[in-house]
Amino acid sequence: MPTGNSAALIGLDWGTTSLRAHLLDASGAVIERRSSAEGILADHKGGFEGTFGRVAGDWVARAPGLPVIASGMITSRNGWVETPYVRVPAGVDELASSLVPHDLSPASRIHFVCGMDYDPVDGTPDIMRGEETQIAGCLERGSGGEGEEGLFVMPGTHSKWVSVRGRRLDKFDTYMTGEVYAVLKGHSILGRLMEKSAGPLGTGFDQGVSARLESDGSLLRHVFSARTMALFDRVAPDQVADYLSGLLIGEEVRSALKDCGSGSGSGSGAGATVTIVGDGALTERYRRALELAGVAAVPAPEDAAALGHFAIARQAGLIAG
């Protein structure tokens, strides 16, 4: 239920598989939070506006004219309103000045946050929708080295690594780690030798991470060792899945630390600190992999997306007071 603070903003973190809504006060504190499995791929009766009304309609009714801000895949071609990308380097300023407004009613307007894109010299562009807002939220709370510089990882099906410099997103890279793991486990020969692990994070994971950190051979060859190591009894059957997970996350961590060390972002590699954005078991895997690589990890602030919505909305002059 609402506290005594008056509502100043509704923030929607609306991704492919979930919708998280926050009611915020004028200081950026969360008054109330709701979540729904109605990501953009769900069946939206009454369209996205209908879903928004069911999830947050009472917030709007209590405070007509309350500004609404939304980020994530809801701004993609398959979302509610497609927004362009803001090119990095960019920060809260650019996100605030590029908001795409959409009228819900004469009294109510929703502002969509643009995603960001990155077009490095190697000619392979990269994109994000939603993560830029979470990074803005981390910076709002001074996460990642006093908020000026830092390296952030956002583990997931498609992990993002973001370098921040001067409070702006400087560059970022997407790694398909989570999805490659899922398809190799579920659909390749590697899944056949895997037995369910009893524990939460097995020794096979450490073994995989360490092996990959030490190898510069091709990943296409190294993943085959998830089969041969099992056949040679060097990885137990209930550790093969974690071993493969370790190989892949080890590859990602090694590459991301190397890229950031040589890129225009903050210096990284051993001794650096990485901020992990997210929660759940997957972030623990990344923390452990970074530890094995000699890099300390710190968690991002809670409600990073909501904090980002607040920072962008404030910069855009949407918040009264």
Closest CB to a second copy among residues 42, 63: 42
Closest CB to a second copy among residues 190, 319: 190
Q: Which of 144, 143, 175 is nearest to 268 (CA)?
A: 144
Q: Which of 222, 227, 228 is nearest to 248 (CA)?
A: 222
Tell me the CA distances in angstroms from 108 to 53, 68, 167, one per residue in order.
12, 8, 31
Q: Spell 16-44 as b/e; 16+ CB within 10 A means b.
A: beebbbbbbbeebbbbbeeeeebbbeeeb
Closest CB to a second copy among residues 189, 296: 189
- Contact footprint for a second copy (CB under 8 A): 122-127, 158, 173-177, 179-180, 183-184, 186-189, 211, 214-215, 217-225, 228-229, 231-232, 234, 248, 251-252, 254-256, 259
Would you tell me the crossing angle of helices 177-187 and 240-262 to the nearest 10 degrees? 160
Smallest gap from residue 226 Cβ to a second copy (A): 9
DSSP per-residue codes, 108-126: EEEEEPPEEEE--TTS--E
Smallest gap from residue 218 Cβ to a second copy (A): 3
Smallest gap from residue 185 Cβ to a second copy (A): 10
Closest CB to a second copy among residues 35, 262: 262
- Strand segments, DSSP code E, in the chain are 7-14, 19-25, 30-36, 68-71, 85-87, 100-105, 108-112, 115-118, 126-128, 149-154, 159-165, 168-175, 273-276, 296-299
Place of tokens 């650019």: 94
Smallest gap from residue 214 Cβ to a second copy (A): 7
Distance of CA 242 to the CA centre of its chain: 22
Closest CB to a second copy among residues 149, 224: 224
Smallest gap from residue 7 Cβ to a second copy (A): 37
Closest CB to a second copy among residues 30, 176: 176
Smallest gap from residue 117 Cβ to a second copy (A): 8
